Structure 1
């Protein structure tokens, strides 16, 4: 059923079905693989429509599950080069490429942690680390920004 949805390029429907499966059985490699394929398909559809930010989001999700796929890395990198994630620089602060890369890295890390937290949301409340993860992320971001500002 899901393979048929993917072959018919009905990626959103496939994604919804796969997420339902993963809620029941979070450790399902085939479902994870199919979900990654759905995200790649959705990314390509969004790119074809000129929605590059959305396309990058789907490719980034797919890369989190399939980081060694060179074709996927290439597609994401091409979009990132044409449409960088960090576009708005305050007028009184000049950021070099290293700083922008660092900010993009923070953004990517936060997105990956959010995805992991979503996957683990079925765990009992006492095991959830969401508040602690947010505090740690904010501290890391603040430290990195302080380092940048002192340069």
Structure 2
């Protein structure tokens, strides 16, 4: 398995992301790298990160950081359930609250919108005309 695309120093000093506990960072970084690899159809490990231009390498690292930050804010469980904390509903007595994340499927919530934005700039995401949803 490939090394994570970012280390904690890059995340803190270059990206300046939301604070992540040091003991959680390796897990978040590894999961983020795995998600980015899946989203880009494993082109990055096939080609090698160092083979891309500096600009594309930077966008990949930012995408990884954005996903790490998403895990910190929404919870790592989003990687399993596809449901971020911000889309949950709850009730207390007569009061009820419901929030929606705007994605049409639970799996669409697994990737941070900013992660996808950075990856879009790399040209590594394939445009698809067929949309498959989870029932």
Q: Normalized against structure 1, the TM-score is what?
A: 0.32
When you count strand as a share of all residues, which structure comes out higher?
Answer: 2
Q: Normalized against structure 2, the TM-score is what?
A: 0.34
Q: Which has the higher contact order (CA 8 A, sep 6+)?
A: 2
- Indicate the structure (1 or 2) with the bigger Cα radius of gyration: 1
When you count helix as a share of all residues, which structure comes out higher?
Answer: 1
